[in-house]
Structure 1
Amino acid sequence: MSNPIPIINLADALQPGAPCSVEVAQAIRAASMASGFFYVRNHGVPPEVVARQFDLARQVMALPLSTRQALNVYASPGMRGFEIEGSQTLDASARPDVKESFQCGMDYPDDHPYVRAGYHFYGHNQWPAEMPELPAQCNAYIQRMLGLTRRLMELMALSLGLPENYFEHTGHSPMVTLRMIRYPAHPEGADERTFGAGAHTDWGAITVLAQDAYGGLEVQTPEGDWVPATPIEGCFVVNLGDMIPRWTNGLYHSNPHRVRNVHSRGMPRYSIPFFYDLDYLARIEAVPGTVPPGEQPRFAPCTAGEHLLQMYRTTYGTAAKAV
């Protein structure tokens, strides 16, 4: 059986109007109508930038427990800081996730309208004092990922027969999260309800994942099978979040995926996902050409902020812990 997760080469499609933009957009369309997952290579992010971010991830997740507890995500209105192991349950039918992480995002100034309005996701980052280099490097990586995800959104627009800049207005003040995750070795004797990250779909628009060499990510195909998203050197894994089916009236998919750290021979697994989740007030409704004549859209319109709030409330167990 061929790999159900295709590899898409962005080499000649990284700029608006680039020679292969339409061809790449059609490849994205095919992947989006299948599993909603694909690899990208020649994506414009130098390998040394990714390697440096992994080094940083290992350092930050090795900080003392007292530091990680003091900078807990629940102490941050924007849910920035450390997530302690067992805090999140992505699959409601499974046990709490066997993972821990540090997450940060764009640091919007206090006079930004969304900060003044008290919107969640727009709070300040919590940085550990032990790592003064962390803010600058994370912000630099965020800017790299922003450039890539915004280009992917342009290609997504082309794939739907829309102008390249169709989604531009939805990303003026995006809610983005950079997460550095440590998965301990899969517990010995664990039952079938134990996962590093339980089966879930992502909630936003686009996720770009850098994973280490061990692997462990599994993707559910449209047929219901679970297949490994094996690490490929020089590639990111890209997957669509739940906002994309809403925008495309179900034409494009955000398929479930999960993580089990069972290939590392007892070593921790690290991954670095970047979640591109749009402007808080961006309206999500079926784009032109996706609702057949005479039919109603499959999804009710909502804003990006409304959608993410509900998802966080669900998976972190209480509305009081929403972000």
Structure 2
Amino acid sequence: MSTTTATHAIPTIDISPLFGGDLAARESIAREMGRAAETYGFMKLVGHGVPPAVIADTFRAAEAFFGQSDDAKAPYQERKTNRGFQPMFDNAKPGQKPSGQEAFSMGHPIPPIDPALLPLPFYAATPWPDVPGFRERLETCYHAMFQVGEAVLQAFALHLGAPADFFANVSRNTYSNMRVVHYPPQEVVQHIADEGVRAHEDQGLITLLIQDMNGGLEVLGPDQDWLPVVPDEQAIVLNVAKLLTRWSNGRLKSALHRVINRSGRERYSIPLFIHPNYHQVIDPRDFAPDGEAPRFEPIVAGEQVYKNFAGERKSWAELTS
């Protein structure tokens, strides 16, 4: 496959009308976002309202954490919860080379309303490291990005013909998480990993991503070419994830994407993965037009995501061996 194409590019959409009171303007943006989601599964959002200072602070927090020794980071390693430190080369499916990245994942800062959810893995407490300002900066960024995610899901609900609050109602006990990710230059990790993160589709409803200016993110486009998601200091990248593709009966596209850090510099990114309630049933009949056969069987959101993670984290396998 080639890495460039002349016929397609990831669209940029100004979503500022989503935060206003003009319903017609919101519906117009929702249609534009829906078309981009159906064609690419990816788009860049400007007018999102996340303050640049919050983004800068979060990148600085990431640099401070990952700048420590492996021994200093190890006590905060996640324990089959998708919360905490994930070491370099941990993402690997059997028989494949691992991804050349390390990450720290925080859970949703607001505990679930239903206390019965607390024992489930994705509701575990985040093991915060003793790095000054780290938790405060990440939580501030999380809240700002999550507000964008709520507006995005309202737009997708409108596009799919559902009430605007559809996804809010099924996400009141969300197990969403935000990560800060560090990619060394590709030449540093290439003896073990061919890519910073191998080609994959995200697991949840949507992902919002802030990337630095070093580039490296690529998405598989409609012509099966790898399209660069060119960095933009003003933009948040949005991509559809697998649960939403399934729920929309395949209408909204979850696209393969990968990262190869060819910049020669350290690369950092901040993805927020938005999920519904752990027990939420993902049933395409909720959105399929009358007479349209469902393409997918119903699944339970959290159970499916946990199963998928268990098959691609080396550290999870080691904990059960």
Distance 1:274 1:16, change over 3 A: farther
Q: Does the CA-based 8 Å contact 1:249-1:297 persist in structure 2? A: yes
Q: Secondary structure at the match of 1:279?
A: coil
CA distance in 2 between counterparts of 1:73 and 1:86 reads 14
Moved more, 118-127 or 3-12: 3-12
The reply to whether residue 125 of structure 1 matches residue 126 of structure 2 is yes
The match for 1:99 among 101, 116, 130 is: 101
Instruction: Compute the TM-score of the two structures, normalised by the length of structure 1.
Output: 0.90
CA distance in 2 between counterparts of 1:83 and 1:16 reads 41
Q: Does the CA-based 8 Å contact 1:39-1:237 persist in structure 2? A: yes
- Offset at 1:63? 1.9
Aligned partner letter, 1:128: P
Aligned partner letter, 1:314: G
CA distance in 2 between counterparts of 1:248 and 1:199 reads 22
The reply to whether residue 71 of structure 1 matches residue 69 of structure 2 is no
CA distance in 2 between counterparts of 1:59 and 1:24 reads 38
CA distance in 2 between counterparts of 1:282 and 1:246 reads 13
Q: What is the correspondence of 1:226-265 to structure 2 with a 5 Å cutoff?
A: 226-262=226-262, 264=263
Match for residue 280 of structure 1?
A: 278
User: How many residue pairs align between the two structures?
Assistant: 314
Match for residue 87 of structure 1?
A: 90
Moved more, 279-288 or 145-154: 279-288
CA distance in 2 between counterparts of 1:257 and 1:296 reads 28
Q: Which runs of 4+ in 1 moved over 6 A?
A: none
Q: Does the CA-based 8 Å contact 2:17-2:26 persist in structure 1? A: yes
Q: Does the CA-based 8 Å contact 2:98-2:192 persist in structure 1? A: no
Match for residue 208 of structure 1?
A: 208
Q: Secondary structure at the match of 2:146?
A: helix
Structure 2, unpaired ranges of 5+: 1-5
Match for residue 3 of structure 2?
A: none
Instruction: Compute the TM-score of the two structures, normalised by the length of structure 2.
Output: 0.90
Distance 1:176 1:289, change over 3 A: closer
CA distance in 1 between counterparts of 2:238 and 2:45 reads 7
The reply to whether residue 147 of structure 1 matches residue 152 of structure 2 is no
Q: Does the CA-based 8 Å contact 1:216-1:260 persist in structure 2? A: yes
Q: Does the CA-based 8 Å contact 1:80-1:105 persist in structure 2? A: yes
Match for residue 194 of structure 1?
A: 194
Q: Secondary structure at the match of 2:274?
A: strand
Match for residue 53 of structure 1?
A: 58
Q: Secondary structure at the match of 1:5?
A: coil
Q: Does the CA-based 8 Å contact 2:208-2:239 persist in structure 1? A: yes
Structure (1/2) with the larger helix percentage: 2
Structure 1, unpaired ranges of 5+: none
Match for residue 313 of structure 1?
A: 310
The match for 1:31 among 33, 36, 40 is: 36
Match for residue 115 of structure 2?
A: 113
The match for 1:42 among 20, 39, 47 is: 47
Distance 1:113 1:289, change over 3 A: closer
CA distance in 1 between counterparts of 2:148 and 2:188 reads 39
Moved more, 14-23 or 233-242: 14-23
Q: Which deviations, in whole Å up to 9, do the C-alpha atoms of 1:131-175 show, x marking residues without a partner?
A: 142222222211112111111010001111222112221110111
Q: Secondary structure at the match of 2:181?
A: strand
Q: Percent identity?
A: 29
Distance 1:190 1:57, change over 3 A: closer
CA distance in 2 between counterparts of 1:66 and 1:216 reads 28
Q: Which deviations, in whole Å up to 9, do the C-alpha atoms of 1:209-234 show, x marking residues without a partner?
A: 00011110010012211111010120
